[in-house]
Amino acid sequence: MQHKYATLKMTQIHRNEGQPREHFNEAELTELAESLKEYGLLQPIVVRKKEGASGYELVAGERRYRANKMAGNITIEAKILLPETDETITDLDSFKRAMTENITRADMTPLEEARGFKKVLDQEDGATAQSVAKNFKKSVQYVNQRLALLDLRPELAQAVNDGHIGTSAAVQVAALNKDSQKNLFDKWKKGDFNGSDNALIHVAYAMRKQEKAQQESMVEVEEVSDEEKATQSKARAKTRTDLDRIEEICGLLVEIGKMDGAELFRHLEGEVGARLEQMERVSEAVQKARWALRQAKAHADASELVVSPTAQAPDLAEAARAHEANVNGPEDSEQADDEAAPNAVAEQAHLDTEHADSETDSDAPDREPALASA
């Protein structure tokens, strides 16, 4: 895009009210302001002339603009964008340039990125997750995961913005219905996950599976036969018995652990190598069993938190929209449908996220997320 450079008065520049970035670290701004006082501005801000407005609108460089103001400077170096033809630079063009700079510099929070991607999808003709990903040099999976965050409850979104909950965990939580999200967030606030995103991911994933199972059971209910009930009861009894026997084995291992190495050598002369290999197999089996039990614990926690779709609190805002549509007639009802369409994009984001998870795990297509090492 054509441009020219100029020194502008700070009073000539107006902030872009549609600026995609909302959060600025005051300490970092103060540090930058001190740097500007000593070294000056190393990179000009980017502005444009806006039709019907005096002065210039800020396109990129909000952080530099704020720091320059804090430093007490009355002028600033600027790169002024010039339209290629007689057409003006649109608000969306300006927004996309601001998004590009902030994403490249990793200055935006995940929710700011999500809202930015959503705005482009809503306002640019023919925009798709694929085109947005290409515009901002991101993968489609990255864009879809950010879009999924828009389904978070406000309090959870704030925790993500504040850096208390990581993006990967937030994407799993966002896939839950709003009431399940609230229950999970309340448990997280109590410190039940010890600040671990990994534990949060696993419980959220388990809750999502249970929500899906409940939805499927609402569609088709199959009665369990007496034979199947007997088989399930037998399997439960066997699992508990097997786990009880582990305590016996644990006692044997404790006794072996107390033995002196030289004594073990005398007792196992000629078999030490084979017995060590045996112990390695036992250790591997213990790791796998512990993994399975941790997954079971996640499902146990999830069963206490998940809210059945039939038991969810009514969405009062949605009810109000539906009532208004009925009162105002079919024309307004069609508009309501158009407003609801973005929700389909968010739902696709959840599906793409789950698909991406399965693609990266070649061992099992529906395997649960991996736990970090204990």
Q: Is 62 a catalytic residue?
A: yes
Pairwise CA distance, residues 132 & 92, whole Å: 13
Question: Which of 31, 51, 57, 62 does the annotation list as catalytic?
Answer: 62
CA distance 104 to 96: 12
Q: 54: which 2 tokens?
A: 């005096």
What is the DSSP-derived secondary structure letter of residue 366? T
The DSSP call for residue 48 is E
- Residues whose CB falls within 8 Å of the CB of residue 118, separated by 6 or more in sequence, listed in order: 147, 150, 342, 345
**Residue showing tokens 């614990």:** 297
How many CA atoms does the CB half-sphere of 14 hold within 13 Å?
11
**At 71, which amino acid appears?**
A
| Residue 317 phi, psi (nearest 5) | -65, -40
Record the tokens describing residue 122, joined without a space: 């809503």
* Residue whose pair of structure tokens reads 């499902």 in the numeric block: 299
Q: In this structure, what token pair is assigned to residue 62?
A: 């909000």
HSE-CB for 90 with a 13 A CA cutoff: 6
- Which residues are tagged catalytic? 62
